[in-house]
Structure 1
């Protein structure tokens, strides 16, 4: 018994090769589940029969001992004593036979398409195999049954989800559906599936957009020097001067996540190059809490910054930009304007966004797109070859600038259609299924989902506002998030006790996950796309009843 990788069990029927072998692999004489078996010839002319099992398959011997799927399990025997305890098979000149029971537990995917099983009576052993005495009973398990598996869509099965030939199709369909749903042009923007989550994109966005700035400056210096561009020392000197006087990255800090991104840029690039456009904490009474977005007239933007960064929705603090900042909009003719980067991890797919205003937007998939495991970057193609190439590591090293890890380099990821390194393709598949469901539910794209999201948020905020004596909404009304509704329970004056009671009673009604982020406390209702309108109505009703009690 052997195992393949990625949760695919591999069963072998092979005799040990060479007469000098000290042991023999046990021969499988009966497969009690009917699956397609692939037979190949090895280099030494030995038949090898492989049985591919679905991801998540659990394999057991007939004594109940688990044989996989994560660790290789090969029974070898030199004598009767080394056979598995449950075996009572008679020995032959090849050490003996042993029946293996394969128990398949199929994982159902929670989507509009499920993997289903149709179980049939147990299959008898092949007639070519010698008869075996029955194994003694070791458990109360029911008699073995064989299963045939049906799937939809036809081209997807548990094994094909990890097949290299199918990965591009899964990726390309998800990319196309994302562009359709958000209404942007695939000709102008590249969709990248990456790993590392939003936190990984804090670094990736800085590395790539600073690299793009350096490439533009390098081209400008070479043009400026003309024939002198052949002098490497002169080019480097001019570049260093431009870096010292002009390299800036701008950060608009309105909550915990944009603060983390700002701190990461300082750590990787150096604080001398990172400009704090505004810090929303300065608007609070104690200078420590987030809850408002500073007026754009107070923003201190750098001239010709490599990029301007903001987080569109702050999950911890319940702060969301109501719309794209006017000060960052391109000119009326669509040209000019700063290079804008946005973290949309928690509100992507929930409202229409002017994608053309952004050079880069990214998001983790786990809030509105699917499961954890992937991050998505939507990058303007003018930041990719042939229009623009990243500077070489050698040049960055000479300029004392950070060199990005290759798995965070957008140019490399785009060139390889997100498959430069091993991608969590199952998570991409889930994201693709979510997009297909959204497009089927809302034929007009994101506008339909936006209407539902706004309705849900209105219900909850209205219930809170109706009882100012019992609740205090944390963020300012001008910046309230529709995805993360943060509030405190002040009923009775003892906030801690009131919130404990609120959480206890809500949990009893199956209204769960309402506890605020550990860094700020309070109550937080996360109103993501997966929350139905009925769920928001139920929460609004409870908010009202708790206040009246």
Structure 2
């Protein structure tokens, strides 16, 4: 079997070793005579997988004891609403850092719930950079400040995070969670859909400080209160059990690779190959994001014309490359190089880019 060079933006690449292990265990998990998909989420076998995934997440990401690790459903898009429903207080606005399409969607949902303010924005730069930390102005009475750590469409990423004092810092890390070590204690809440770095779609990880996962408003339905899931170990209702099982295998894979610090170096090494092909092309390829804001997860670039870009896509697909077409809202080209994208795929893409330039430059 020939594996595609998978640069999809999400759902995205999953390690081959993980897929093969899941294939082996698919029909009969741990000698139970059934798949994990068929098991009760109240049973000991599934709960073992569930709890192991939480423990591995804590270990690999350095999550302190005073945080809950929740496994929810609905993707980051549900968190756009669930977050303000739980944390946005009357008279205390939510502050949002506006860096692109995903931040815009989070802002739009928050405005339905209560008062919001823009703490910083790079809209005037077409979202091709993230703000300097000094540009972020958070009201002292803010309920929280929200950031999107990595914008998949523009290909921008924060390299560091602000100290926000008593105002809880919240981050949507859907597209770069576990791609690098971070100081969890800086954050009140981190959330991420799994389908880019953690496994298949279906489960959303929420890392939330204990004090923010209690005394949530009782005026919102139980399913939308963080404390509901914190009190029930994310087993209040039937969890996305197969997605959690797959995520557990991915977490084991990350640990076997040497942990998050090693994954970060691996990501930087493979991403550099593609950025070098862009920067060394003499202008044949043009990077979209400003250099200091470039993402290690999503590389966005353009060619001299849309016709040439279409030719690039057509020829690359014939060579086994998948997912290189830019987001429909902005066009261009994009290579998503999440944790599970192999070095060999990035080497192959960099070489294809050089060859394509020779033929068309």
TM-score calculated relative to the size of structure 2: 0.89
Structure 2 residue 346 is the aligned partner of structure 1 residue 536: yes
* Distance (whole Å) between structure 2 residues aligned to residue 251 and residue 522 of structure 1: 27
Task: Give the corresponding residue for 1:329.
Answer: 163
Structure 2 residue 343 is the aligned partner of structure 1 residue 434: no
Q: Cα offset for 1:450?
A: 0.5
* Distance (whole Å) between structure 2 residues aligned to residue 195 and residue 113 of structure 1: 21
Task: Give the corresponding residue for 1:502.
Answer: 312
Structure 2 residue 91 is the aligned partner of structure 1 residue 249: no
Measured against aligned partners, the alpha-carbon deviations of 1:150-174 in whole angstroms (never above 9, x if no partner) come to: x464468415752231332221110
Q: Cα offset for 1:410?
A: 0.5
* Distance (whole Å) between structure 2 residues aligned to residue 159 and residue 433 of structure 1: 13
Measured against aligned partners, the alpha-carbon deviations of 1:440-461 in whole angstroms (never above 9, x if no partner) come to: 222xx20011110010111110
Structure 1 window deviating more from structure 2 (363-372 vs 159-168): it is 159-168
Q: What SS does the aligned partner of 2:21 have?
A: coil
Structure 2 residue 291 is the aligned partner of structure 1 residue 462: no
Q: Cα offset for 1:354?
A: 1.1
Aligned in 2, Cα 1:156/1:499: closer, same or farther, shift over 3 Å? farther
Q: What SS does the aligned partner of 1:329 have?
A: coil
1:501-520, aligned counterparts within 5 Å? 501-520=311-330
| Aligned equivalent of 1:168, options 47, 61, 71 | 47
Task: Give the corresponding residue for 1:425.
Answer: 241
* Distance (whole Å) between structure 1 residues aligned to residue 127 and residue 59 of structure 2: 35
Q: Cα offset for 1:415?
A: 1.0
Unmatched 5+ residue regions in structure 1?
A: 1-108, 118-148, 215-242, 331-335, 394-403
TM-score calculated relative to the size of structure 1: 0.59
Q: Cα offset for 1:405?
A: 3.0
Greater RCO, CA 8 A, separation 6+: 2
* Distance (whole Å) between structure 2 residues aligned to residue 110 and residue 415 of structure 1: 32
| Aligned equivalent of 2:189, options 360, 370, 377 | 360
1:391-430, aligned counterparts within 5 Å? 391-393=217-219, 404-430=220-246
Task: Give the corresponding residue for 1:158.
Answer: 35
* Distance (whole Å) between structure 2 residues aligned to residue 469 and residue 374 of structure 1: 41
* Distance (whole Å) between structure 1 residues aligned to residue 73 and residue 159 of structure 2: 29
1:56-75, aligned counterparts within 5 Å? none
Unmatched 5+ residue regions in structure 2?
A: 1-17
Q: What SS does the aligned partner of 1:110 have?
A: helix
Q: Cα offset for 1:302?
A: 1.1
| Aligned equivalent of 2:151, options 303, 306, 314 | 314
Q: What SS does the aligned partner of 2:321 have?
A: coil
1:61-460, aligned counterparts within 5 Å? 110-115=19-24, 151=28, 153-154=30-31, 157-158=34-35, 161-163=38-40, 164-165=42-43, 166-185=45-64, 187-210=65-88, 214=89, 243=90, 246-269=91-114, 273-282=115-124, 284=125, 289-324=126-161, 328-329=162-163, 336-385=165-214, 389-393=215-219, 404-442=220-258, 445-460=259-274
Q: What RMSD, in angstroms, separates the aligned Cα atoms of the two structures?
A: 2.0
Contact 1:114 1:152 in 2 (8 A): no
Q: What SS does the aligned partner of 1:369 have?
A: coil
Which of the pair has more CA radius of gyration? 1
Contact 1:161 1:167 in 2 (8 A): no
Contact 1:340 1:358 in 2 (8 A): yes
How many residue pairs match? The answer is: 341
Q: What SS does the aligned partner of 1:277 have?
A: strand
Aligned in 2, Cα 1:280/1:159: closer, same or farther, shift over 3 Å? closer
Aligned in 2, Cα 1:544/1:358: closer, same or farther, shift over 3 Å? same
Contact 1:113 1:153 in 2 (8 A): no
Measured against aligned partners, the alpha-carbon deviations of 1:88-146 in whole angstroms (never above 9, x if no partner) come to: xxxxxxxxxxxxxxxxxxxxx824353379xxxxxxxxxxxxxxxxxxxxxxxxxxxxx
Contact 1:463 1:544 in 2 (8 A): yes
Contact 2:286 2:301 in 1 (8 A): yes
